[in-house]
Amino acid sequence: MPRRRKKRRRLEVTRVPREKATLSEYDRSTVPAGLVTRRQLRDMQLSPGGNEGPVAILRCKLCATRPQWSCRHPTRGYLLRVDLAVPKRVPTLAQEWALDQAMAARQTCGQCRRRFYICLSKKLGCCLECFDGTPADPSSLMTLPAPAVHRLAA
């Protein structure tokens, strides 16, 4: 006899009148200038930096049809001030090198030592060509830089 599945509880949304909401709320078309979401900050190459927390709430589409209730859904967005945002940090060369080494370990076949643009399966431990003979697409392989040529005069 199969086991009974547990019923998932639906996320309860508590209704709070809009006038008792702690943060001001805006619909998608009525957001004032100077307030943006985290994703919009990222597109502007900024990070929330000096913002202590959200200034306002961007109401979800469902709550836009209910103007008297405050938006308490998990899909709501938080609005941050642009003037308090700071530029994104630029990684150092050592950090970029370390990330490249980590990605190289995930993208290099353990048997043929070729590096691919995609991360290889940890379950197989190698590329498909080494595993079952399926030929690799040449466009999926990274071309290795040419070896350094000795150019000394002596």
The pLDDT, as a whole number, for residue 95 is 95
* Inter-CA distances, 10 with 7, 13, 18, 74, Å: 9, 9, 23, 12
Tokens in use for 154?
A: 């002596």
**For 57-66, what is the mean pLDDT?**
78
HSE-CB of 11 using CA atoms within 13 angstroms? 5
How much of the chain is in helix, strand and coil states, percent to nearest 5? 25, 15, 60
pLDDT for residue 102: 94
Question: Which of these, 78, 62, 77, 56, lies nearest to 15 by C-alpha position?
Answer: 62
Question: What pLDDT is stored for residue 153 in this prediction?
Answer: 64
**Confidence class for position 107, pLDDT limits 50, 70, 90:** very high
Mean pLDDT, residues 51-68 taken together: 80
**What is the average pLDDT across 13-17?**
62
pLDDT of residue 151: 66
d(CA 150, CA 154): 10
